[in-house]
A and B are shown apart, each in its own frame.
Chain A
Amino acid sequence: MRKNLNVIAAYSIMMGLIILVGIFQSWNIALSIFNLCLISAVMTMGANIQWGYAGLINFGIMGYTALGGLAAVLISVNPVQEAWSAGGLNILLSLFLIIGMVLAVRYVLKKYEKSKNRTYAIATIIILGIIIIRFVSEPGIEAIEEVDPAKTGFLGGFGLPIIFSWIVGALFAGGLAFVIGKVALGLRADYLAIATLLISEIVIAIIKHEDWLTRGVKNVIGLKRPAPYEVNLQQTDWFINLVEKFNSSKLNLISDFAERQAALNQFVIEGSSVFVKLCYSGLFLIVVIILLILTQKALYSPWGRMMRAIRDNEEAANAMGKNVVKQHLLIFVLGSAIVGIAGAMLVTQDGLFTPGSYRPMRYTFLIWVMVIVGGSGNNFGAILGGFVVWFLWIESAPIGLYLVNLTTAGLDDAHFLKVHLIESVPYFRFLMMGAGLLLIMRYRPKGILPEKIEIK
């Protein structure tokens, strides 16, 4: 118990801060911060598995997040029958062509020795394949995008409950990670960072511009929800009774019946959105706890010991007969799959998929700040990092405003410097993140909750 004291203290302070937001701002804001903290925590766990356990640097987090989001769309949206009949055949044909192309390349790779001719043959197969696929898919894509472009204009999905997408998102992200890992894992660390960053940009470019699949920048809105809708809740009896019970002391103060009814309505409206957010919190919490148990078990298992051995001394681990390349690939896929789950969760919570919003600053670098600040190699640290950094990311604007007001208190309200500073308050979050990261890296390089491995 004693040795975990700092963990418990850190988490209680964090929860206390969120509760303070609930009391002083509103419970709605507090819960939306809490939910995003949980999603960030899942992402940091994924990044932490790669960086903390195995020392692999992955700057492609944004790509996996977006793929998770894409999974949410493809699973939950109802299929667009017209689009399928208009161009589905062409798309399926292109899919088979792509598979055929990959198989052909694999065949050439296996059958022939490495030579110049083989390289040319592979290049010819790929170029010819791309040209044929373009000819096959183009009419299909055009037909699909013409089907009611204001509402659909894409193939739609499978119409399944959105919860399934959390698993499918993990599969998508893991699949992409497998391909990237095969290509890039042999590179040196900072090279790998650049390569993954650029590949994730390619993924985003595809998601943004392949309208037949994702609607692109037209966004997909009104996705299914695993939680009840606020409007329905406001009309159910048990919910109204529940809200009445919760607020009975306040309601009893009002004697007039009509006023009491109006107040109750207000409470029900507020309560319904809090209730929905609580539902999400519950779902997310379950995911975080399951992942935490699994990752903790893995960390203390022989496999975890092997990963640390590989991280700390690759050559030695290799000499002991561990297959470093295979283990790196495995952990790259696992970590990315977890990030994929987070991506699907994020879209589930928002109820919409906006490819334009995936930016490296928010979805790659911020997650890295979380991992470094929280403590790489320590799951509790990584989760705490997700909480602390997301909390600061949201609350830095009010804090910045307060600081600006404090330091420029002597100035006139219309003074140009004060006006300018107040306008630029939203950018204080970048300053805080950067300064925080630099300070942590200098004075506490292992993070708030450093990695602690005890032999059991």
Chain B
Amino acid sequence: MDFLNAIILLLNYIFVPALAYGSQLALGAIFVTLIYGILRFANFATGDMMSFGTMFTILFTWYFQSVGIGLGFLPTALIAIPFAIIFMIGYMLLIDKFVFKYYRVNKSPPVQLAMVSIGVMFVTQAVVRIIIGPSDRRFFDGEKFLIKASEFKDMTGLNEGLAIKSTQVITILVTIVLVSTLFWFLNKTKTGKSMRAYSDNEDLALLSGIDPKKIVMITWIIAGILATIGGALYGLDKSFKPFTYFNNMLPIFAAAIVGGIGNPFGAFLGGYVIAFSEILLTYAYKKFFMYVLPESMEPDGLVQLLSTDYKFAVSFSILVIVLLYRPSGIFKGKVL
């Protein structure tokens, strides 16, 4: 019984939250890695692009709520997301046309493009704050919990409850659907294959008649979809605040690099690596050991490897270690 309790404890505080957080990071990391692989620059506007998409989701959610359209026990944001994606893709293509295209055509070095993306970051951040403001916003509605901790306890008779938030389930389901569609698209369709070819060797791809304009446009469209959904899911699960989104750029970068930049599958797994290590290393295991060990051996302290203040620092340290030992990432991305 104690052993079961211990497992439920870990599931409740580590596994489920880390899976949801990891999915959100994974979507962002695939976004970074796609831009890096095909457009060939590190996009420092990642976090702010995600907050831009989320902002549209919130605006549409408010609109639908005011008109009275809803999904019952599901959050209204789910119908708002497709509309937000359309706006987001428009914004992405606009930015590409007026900003990034010039440097791509001139074959500027990647560093210059990264600098330009910092300019885009500033502008996007300003637009988001001017339109929706810098404050913390919750836009979740509908049923909050799929299983409540107390219900679970009644059901199973265990001491520990397992609470599953509906946003966590939505996040994981949406991520699975989205990522599998994306991999199907990249590996099976002609356009996806030509994208991979372009990412692998630009000159060869051009020689075999692949249209670079089309590739770039599709990349931005996929990027827009990923950024909006990733941002909206994070916002649903936690809350929307432009500053947090800017900060999220850092673990997302870490996930992309740990997985091997330029490799979408690596980025997907990298998101979970980062999320699980952040939570595993900063969780206080005292209660877990109380269940598992006999009473005489119970620990005095919290048995916490690192204080929760260092949550971000964990992912960055993993990044540094990966950089030292496998600069191309765990799953072999481009060698940098």
Contacts of B312 in A (CB 8 A): 201, 205
- Cα distance A441–B98 in the bound complex, in angstroms: 13
Contacts of A195 in B (CB 8 A): 319-320, 323
- Cα distance A205–B316 in the bound complex, in angstroms: 11
Contact flags (1/0) for B98-139 with A, using CB distance below 8 Å?
A: 010010000001111011101111111111011001100000
* A194 at the binding interface (Cβ < 8 Å): yes
Number of residue pairs across A and B with beta carbons under 8 Å?
Answer: 124
Q: How far is the CB of B127 from chain A (nearest CB, A)?
A: 7
- Cα distance A361–B245 in the bound complex, in angstroms: 13
* A1 at the binding interface (Cβ < 8 Å): no
Of B124, B312, B313, most A-chain CB atoms within 10 Å: B313
Q: How far is the CB of B105 from chain A (nearest CB, A)?
A: 12
Q: How far is the CB of A375 from chain B (nearest CB, A)?
A: 14
Q: Within residues 150 to 200 of chain A, which ones have a CB less than 8 A from any CB in chain B?
A: 183-184, 186-191, 193-195, 197-199
* A268 at the binding interface (Cβ < 8 Å): no
Contact of B99 among A57, A427, A438 (CB under 8 A): A438
**Cβ-defined contact, B323 with A202, below 8 A:** no
**Cβ-defined contact, B323 with A57, below 8 A:** no
Contact of A202 among B99, B102, B130, B317 (CB under 8 A): B317
Contacts of B1 in A (CB 8 A): none
**Cβ-defined contact, B123 with A431, below 8 A:** yes
* A437 at the binding interface (Cβ < 8 Å): yes
* B10 at the binding interface (Cβ < 8 Å): no
Known: A187-B323, A188-B336. A201 touches B313 (CB 8 A): yes
Q: How far is the CB of A78 from chain B (nearest CB, A)?
A: 27
Contact of A368 among B112, B115, B129 (CB under 8 A): B115
**Cβ-defined contact, A434 with B254, below 8 A:** no
**Cβ-defined contact, B42 with A361, below 8 A:** no
Contacts of B114 in A (CB 8 A): 57, 189-190, 193
* A247 at the binding interface (Cβ < 8 Å): no
- Cα distance A429–B123 in the bound complex, in angstroms: 9
**Cβ-defined contact, B41 with A190, below 8 A:** yes
**Cβ-defined contact, B42 with A202, below 8 A:** no
Contacts of B123 in A (CB 8 A): 430-431, 434-435, 438
* A239 at the binding interface (Cβ < 8 Å): no
Contacts of A190 in B (CB 8 A): 41-42, 110-111, 114
Contact of A431 among B127, B246, B320 (CB under 8 A): B127
- Cα distance A414–B77 in the bound complex, in angstroms: 31
In terms of DSSP, what is the predominant structure of the interface of chain A?
Answer: helix
Q: Within residues 197 to 214 of chain A, which ones have a CB less than 8 A from any CB in chain B?
A: 197-199, 201-202, 205-206, 208-209
Contact flags (1/0) for B19-47 with A, using CB distance below 8 Å?
A: 00000000000000000000001101000
**Cβ-defined contact, B122 with A433, below 8 A:** yes
**Cβ-defined contact, A434 with B310, below 8 A:** no
**Cβ-defined contact, B250 with A201, below 8 A:** yes
Contacts of B310 in A (CB 8 A): 205, 209
**Cβ-defined contact, B316 with A202, below 8 A:** yes
**Chain B, residue nearest A119 (CB):** B325
- Cα distance A69–B46 in the bound complex, in angstroms: 30
**Cβ-defined contact, B122 with A430, below 8 A:** yes
* A428 at the binding interface (Cβ < 8 Å): yes
**Cβ-defined contact, B336 with A187, below 8 A:** yes
**Cβ-defined contact, A441 with B115, below 8 A:** yes
**Chain A, residue nearest B124 (CB):** A434
- Cα distance A421–B133 in the bound complex, in angstroms: 10
* A442 at the binding interface (Cβ < 8 Å): yes
**Cβ-defined contact, A198 with B120, below 8 A:** no
Contact flags (1/0) for A362-376 with B, using CB distance below 8 Å?
A: 000100110010000
- Cα distance A30–B22 in the bound complex, in angstroms: 48
Q: How far is the CB of B20 from chain A (nearest CB, A)?
A: 23
* B327 at the binding interface (Cβ < 8 Å): yes
Q: How far is the CB of A196 from chain B (nearest CB, A)?
A: 11
**Cβ-defined contact, A427 with B126, below 8 A:** yes
**Chain B, residue nearest A437 (CB):** B119
Q: How far is the CB of A393 from chain B (nearest CB, A)?
A: 11
* A408 at the binding interface (Cβ < 8 Å): no
Contact of A191 among B124, B320, B336 (CB under 8 A): B336
Q: Within residues 405 to 456 of chain A, which ones have a CB less than 8 A from any CB in chain B?
A: 421, 423-424, 427-431, 433-435, 437-438, 441-442, 445
**Chain A, residue nearest B99 (CB):** A438
**Cβ-defined contact, A427 with B134, below 8 A:** yes
Contacts of B42 in A (CB 8 A): 190-191, 193-194
Contacts of B120 in A (CB 8 A): 434, 438
Q: How far is the CB of B29 from chain A (nearest CB, A)?
A: 12
- Cα distance A9–B257 in the bound complex, in angstroms: 46
Q: How far is the CB of A127 from chain B (nearest CB, A)?
A: 11
Contacts of A201 in B (CB 8 A): 250, 312-313, 316
Contact of B323 among A183, A430, A431, A441 (CB under 8 A): A183
Contact of A427 among B118, B130, B254 (CB under 8 A): B130
**Cβ-defined contact, A202 with B313, below 8 A:** yes
**Cβ-defined contact, B313 with A205, below 8 A:** yes
Contacts of B336 in A (CB 8 A): 187-188, 191
Known: A57-B111, A441-B112. A434 touches B257 (CB 8 A): no
**Cβ-defined contact, A194 with B129, below 8 A:** no
Known: A183-B323, A190-B110, A438-B120. A428 touches B309 (CB 8 A): no
**Chain B, residue nearest A180 (CB):** B320
Contacts of A365 in B (CB 8 A): 44, 118, 121-122
- Cα distance A35–B112 in the bound complex, in angstroms: 31
Contact flags (1/0) for A347-373 with B, using CB distance below 8 Å?
A: 000000000000001000100110010
* B52 at the binding interface (Cβ < 8 Å): no
**Cβ-defined contact, A431 with B130, below 8 A:** yes
* B253 at the binding interface (Cβ < 8 Å): yes
Q: How far is the CB of A184 from chain B (nearest CB, A)?
A: 7
Contacts of B41 in A (CB 8 A): 190
Query: What are 16 A-B residue pairs whose CB atoms fall within 8 Å in the complex?
Result: A191-B42, A193-B111, A198-B320, A201-B313, A202-B316, A361-B125, A365-B118, A365-B121, A369-B118, A372-B115, A424-B133, A427-B134, A429-B126, A434-B123, A434-B126, A442-B102
What is B's interface to A at a CB cutoff of 8 Å?
A: 41-42, 44, 99, 102, 109-112, 114-116, 118-127, 129-130, 133-134, 246, 250, 253-254, 257, 261, 307, 309-310, 312-313, 316-317, 319-320, 323-325, 327, 336
What is A's interface to B at a CB cutoff of 8 Å?
A: 57, 119, 183-184, 186-191, 193-195, 197-199, 201-202, 205-206, 208-209, 361, 365, 368-369, 372, 421, 423-424, 427-431, 433-435, 437-438, 441-442, 445
* Complex A-B, nearest 4 residue pairs according to Cβ-Cβ distance, in ascending order: A434-B122, A434-B123, A430-B126, A431-B126
With A189-B111, A208-B309, A428-B130 given, can you name 19 additional A-B contacts, CB distance below 8 Å? A57-B111, A183-B323, A184-B323, A189-B109, A191-B42, A191-B323, A194-B253, A198-B253, A201-B250, A209-B309, A365-B121, A428-B126, A431-B126, A431-B130, A434-B120, A434-B123, A437-B115, A438-B99, A441-B115
